[in-house]
Amino acid sequence: MTCRDAIEVIADFLDHALTPAAARELDRHLEGCEPCRAYLNTYRTTRLLVRDAGHVELPPELKRRLREFLIEQLGRPLT
C-alpha cells in the first residue's frame, strides 16, 4: 500500500467501513509510515472538532431565500 492509497481509505477506516483485509493492510502501512500516522491523527482530530462544533441553524430569511433559489435552479433546463 502506498501513502496515496492509505490516504484514500482513512475515512472508511475511521468509519469501520473497510474490509478486514483492507484494514489489516492499512494497519501494516501505518506501522511503518510516520507521515501517514500523523495524517491519520490530524484527520481524526479534525473530524472530532467538526463534530463538536455543533449544528448552526440558518436564519429563517436565509432558509427561505435558499429554498427559492434551489427550486428556481432545479426548474432550469440543463445546459
Give the global pTM.
Answer: 0.64
**Residue 33 CB neighbour total at 10 angstroms:** 16
Residue with cell 432558509: 63
> For the domain that residue 19 is a member of, what is the CATH number?
1.10.10
Q: Which domain holds residue 40?
A: 3-75
- CA torsion through residues 65, 66, 67, 70, sign: positive
Domain count of the chain?
1
* pLDDT of amino acid 4: 95
Residue with cell 475511521: 14
* pLDDT of amino acid 15: 94
**Which residues lie below 8 Å from residue 9, measured CB to CB, with a gap of 6+?**
18, 22, 26
In this structure, what C-alpha cell is assigned to residue 45? 482530530
Is residue 79 over pLDDT 70? no
User: What percentage of the chain exceeds 70 in pLDDT?
Assistant: 97
